[in-house]
Structure 1
Amino acid sequence: MSVSPASSRAGWHTSQPSVPGRPPGGQRRPANGVTPVLTVTLSIPLASEESLTAPARRLLEAAREMLERGEGTITTTGVPAERRPDQVPAGRSPGRSLAATIPMLHILASSRSVLRDGEPLPLTRLEFDLLLHLVAHPRRVFTRLQLLNAVWGYEHAGVRTVDVHVRRLRGKVGIDVPLVTTVYGVGYRLADDARVTVDRTG
């Protein structure tokens, strides 16, 4: 039996001979051979990426890397934004319902067209596919790489093309329509208060 120095906490320890089929350190593998799954639930205010602490930023970067490798998913729970009584958008009276002032988007999947309050929107093929993909997965956050694979069908030369199409989509739909939310350090998802319906037969 050999003796080797360890940490100051333990002082000395005796090393054990390795056992065939057992990982180092004496840890046993799961008997059924199934890899355990770890689910982590976090509450992180994402007002801006600059306001995050260094540990929180590293955590988001690690989560983004896992997503891009296809090793996990991120879902979000909408939290109603606090609004003071004096914070009323221009052109809206305080007595009007906020939901009533948000234009409705109606997606006709078969004809690949989008209506905003009954008026057609001139979307390109990729803009339409991007919108339909986000609407089909509410509350799910997608990295740019995931959107490239799902909408474009391949890894494009640059993931920033997703940013360009999101910006164009927002511009065509209108700044008064909450549609795509940016999740800082991760990617994009459908906005919680987006008013969108999908007609698969239209």
Structure 2
Amino acid sequence: MTLSIPLASDEALNPAARRLLDAARELVECGDGTVTMTGNGFSDRRAEPVPAGRSPSRSLAPTIPTIPTLHILASSRSVLRDGEPLSLTRLEFDLLLHLVAHPRRVFTRLQLLNAVWGYEHAGVRTVDVHVRRLRGKVGVDVPLVTTVYGVGYRLADDARVAIDRSG
């Protein structure tokens, strides 16, 4: 089996691509194939299978990055990221809570204005600004809000968010 993955650098990978690359490396370390990684045509590193009976130089356990979990405490209107509090504005909190309460549903900017802001008089680009700020505060390593181009926004499929309505 041969798998080629073009890369600019390992650091530029999103979490899903990194998990795929780590799984491919584990296959190579187990002796099940060859992975060729190229970066913009400048380099060609080859990870060869480890012969049976030899131990690999790295651990066989994949280094899959863990996606941080967000914990929403609805009663106290606070959000924790892996136990650490996040400082969100009222609208950022309400936007997050609304998206989490309706997973897999796509909302237009106008629908979000009406549901979260309570009115439609603000410019629809206001939603874009708040989504950008929310993403920035939560962190780029946390999949949270997915843009559905030409439509609006939805909660990401691999978002790890829990709501505690009593906390």
Aligned to 1:117: 82
TM-score (norm 1): 0.54
Aligned to 1:143: 108
Q: CA deviation at 1:190?
A: 0.1
**1:11-160 alignment to 2 at 5 Å?**
83=20, 85=24, 95-98=62-65, 101-160=66-125
Which amino acid counterpart does residue 97 of structure 1 have in structure 2? I
- Aligned CA distance change for structure 1 residues 161 and 94 (closer, same or farther; 3 Å): farther
Partner Cα separation in structure 1 for residue 144 and residue 90 of structure 2: 18
Q: CA deviation at 1:123?
A: 0.1
Q: CA deviation at 1:94?
A: 7.7
Q: CA deviation at 1:96?
A: 2.6
Partner Cα separation in structure 2 for residue 152 and residue 94 of structure 1: 46
Question: 1:50-107 CA distances to partner (integer Å, 9 max, x unpaired)?
Answer: xxxxxxxxxxxxxxxxxxxxxxxxxxxxxx88945378xxxxx980334xx1101000
Which amino acid counterpart does residue 190 of structure 1 have in structure 2? L
- Aligned CA distance change for structure 1 residues 159 and 94 (closer, same or farther; 3 Å): farther
User: Quick one: percent identity of the two aligned structures?
Assistant: 84
RMSD: 2.2
Q: How many residues align?
A: 116
Q: CA deviation at 1:157?
A: 2.6
Partner Cα separation in structure 2 for residue 192 and residue 94 of structure 1: 25
Partner Cα separation in structure 2 for residue 94 and residue 126 of structure 1: 41
Q: CA deviation at 1:112?
A: 0.1
- Aligned CA distance change for structure 1 residues 104 and 158 (closer, same or farther; 3 Å): same
| Larger gyration radius, structure 1 or structure 2 | 1
SS of aligned partner of 1:139: coil
Q: Which runs of 5+ in 1 are unaligned?
A: 1-79, 88-92
Q: CA deviation at 1:187?
A: 0.3
Q: Which runs of 5+ in 2 are unaligned?
A: 1-15, 25-34, 38-59
Greater fraction strand: 2
Aligned to 2:163: 198
